[in-house]
Amino acid sequence: METKTQEPVLNSNQQEKEESTESKKISTEKTTKPERFTDEDLQVFKEIILRKISDANASYEQLRNFLTLKDDHGTNDTSPTFKLMEDAADVSSREETAELASRQAKFIQHLKNALVRIENKTYGICMISGELIARERLKSVPHATVNIDAKMEMKRL
């Protein structure tokens, strides 16, 4: 003799609530984006950033060496002092190089800040919207702190 277990009979209100709850679970699962990148993703970004820091440091050192005349052999004072145009061009070139060095130092600092955000596991989260920044954006601009929509909005203002 088989015994059949009867499923409880739900009235229409209970059935609607149950269906509503299930559909909410499904829609939430589909639309919820991850709150942060996985540890594996963060490791990939960390490697990208470390490579960029290494390259930026090498470039910064070259600029600094040019500014400090580290590779100069001391022949600047042997030329005639009547070359005012060349002196002006030299000063202008040094100013441009100093600006480049300053920008490079700032870039390095931004990259180091990105490493701190990786360690804190907040890397890749837009500071304005709280959403994840696109992987493609972070691969090309690893020190980004806002997503592209927020960046465009900032430029419009």
Tens digits of residue pLDDT in 79-119: 555 565 566 667 778 889 999 999 999 999 999 999 999 99
Give which of 149, 157, 116 is closest to 132, Cα–Cα: 149
Cα four-point dihedral sign 152, 155, 156, 157:
positive
pLDDT value at position 66? 87
Q: What pLDDT does 27 receive? A: 38
Query: In the chain, what are the domain boundaries?
Result: 38-72+81-123, 124-157
Q: Nearest 5°: phi and psi at 112? A: -65, -35
Backbone angles phi, psi at 29, to 5 degrees: -60, -35
Tokens matching residue 78: 């042997």
Would you state the structure tokens that stand for residue 121, as one six-digit string?
């596991």
Rounded to the nearest integer, the mean pLDDT of the chain is 79
